[in-house]
Amino acid sequence: MLDVKKDFPILRKSIVYLDSAATSQKPYSVINAISNYYRHSNANIHRGIYKLAQRSSDLIDLSRAKVAELIGADPEEIIFVSGTTEAVNFIASRFRPPEVTLSVLEHHSNLIPWQQSGAKLKFMDMDDLTGNFIAVTGVSNLLGTIAPLSKIRKHSPKALIFVDGAQLVPHFPVDVHKLGIDFLAFSGHKMLGPTGIGVLYVRKSLLNKLPPWLYGGDMIDEVTLTSATWAEPPQKFEAGTLPLAEIVGLGAAVDYLQNIGMAAVRRHEQDLTDYALAEFKKLKNIVTLYGPASHRAGIITFNVNGVHAHDTAQILDEFGICVRSGAHCAAPAVARFGVPAMVRASFYIYNSKSDIDYLISKIPVVYDRLHRADS
């Protein structure tokens, strides 16, 4: 098991943080990288020829290269965006496939943009996705279901595949070229990095088929009063001033994860998940579990029987346990289970079996308090 909690200042408080699927906590190295950028390297990129501007540009280029290495891509295939949501909207509105096949587990961010794109939508189960353009979550933020991406590629060899990697990239080894996917989106804040920065990977052969997402400074080649031409990708898709400190912070987050190794990250979370599932099964008379019985990401979704999810989360908060309750931005999937809301505990590298033990010990307290109140 990993022992890294000491690297996260907020976890020195008396809390058990089990909401990393919503956002991860940040290690000192990421916080310091952002602070040091503003202290020592702050200047706009691609504009100045003075040394400070060059140093800033070099840091952004280095972060882009780190992100590319993390997912097995080339640096020019990495486009910086504000997060997964912007990336999906970018492809849905600019690539505009006439028909999109989705799973029934999609986060709203990988559903609503396609609804609004004008494309014809088809919905299939996770293990039976077919079509010419497939948009699928890599890992369900609701149930921890892991998409069989290699199987989908083999089953649909000519399809273009877009993967919502918000819950995939922070937790699993990923190689986009080996997976054969065409687009991948993920967010920095779910992988130890800052908010406001995310990544869109686009396969190199598709980059020139995409029109720009935004227009303005730094994405142009030549401009006249009546026309303009575009810079080469990825700059073509990065109009205006990027969130530079956040990009540097993302690079530091990638360093932290790479130093651990993504295979070790996955092993740690798998051990926690297996342990948690076994412990939850001991509470089978008072808890309902949702999602796969095995082979799932570090997400446990449940309800205390006869108790609304919000009540469960509120009582757990009294004991310093941070879990999320609600529809988890996956309302259609929650509705399939016939409940209004669910509780979600999600793990990351800084969690331990003692965190799970503490959660498990307080669930009977929730049950007893609410059922006693009803009696």
Together in a domain, 15 and 40: no
Domain limit, last residue, from 235, 260, 285: 260
- State pTM to two decimals: 0.95
Q: Which token pair is 364?
A: 């009977």
Together in a domain, 50 and 196: yes
Together in a domain, 310 and 232: no
DSSP state for residue 119 in the 8-state scheme:
P
Domain limit, last residue, from 208, 234, 260: 260
Q: What percent of the chain has pLDDT over 70?
A: 99
Provide the domain count of the chain: 2
Residue 310 counted as domain residue:
yes
Residue 228 counted as domain residue:
yes
User: Domain of 318?
Assistant: 5-27+262-369
Q: What is the pLDDT of residue 375?
A: 55
CA distances to 84, 109, 190, 326 from 329, in Å:
13, 8, 15, 8
Output Rg (C-alpha) for the chain, integer angstroms.
Answer: 22
What CATH number is associated with residue 61? 3.40.640.10
Together in a domain, 35 and 124: yes
Residue 374 counted as domain residue:
no
Q: Are 273 and 290 in contact (CB under 8 A)?
A: no
Together in a domain, 343 and 194: no
Residue 11 counted as domain residue:
yes
Together in a domain, 159 and 109: yes
Together in a domain, 172 and 252: yes
Residue 186 counted as domain residue:
yes
Which one of 73, 129, 313, 329 is the catalytic residue? Answer: 329
Residue 230 counted as domain residue:
yes
What CATH number is associated with residue 348? 3.90.1150.10
Together in a domain, 186 and 295: no
Domain limit, last residue, from 228, 260, 292: 260
Distance CA(164)–CA(217), nearest Å, equals 28
Together in a domain, 232 and 346: no
Nearest CA among 228, 167, 182 for reference residue 22: 167
CA distances to 10, 49, 220, 342 from 24, in Å:
11, 37, 35, 20
Distance CA(25)–CA(353), nearest Å, equals 18
Together in a domain, 23 and 33: no
**Which residues, 6+ apart, have CB-to-CB distance to 120 below 8 Å?**
98, 99, 100
Residues of the chain falling short of pLDDT 70: 126-127, 373-375
Together in a domain, 177 and 204: yes
Q: Is 322 a catalytic residue?
A: no
Q: What is the pLDDT of residue 1?
A: 86
Q: Are 28 and 200 in contact (CB under 8 A)?
A: no
Residue 375 counted as domain residue:
no
Residue 328 counted as domain residue:
yes
Q: What is the pLDDT of residue 270?
A: 97
Together in a domain, 22 and 56: no
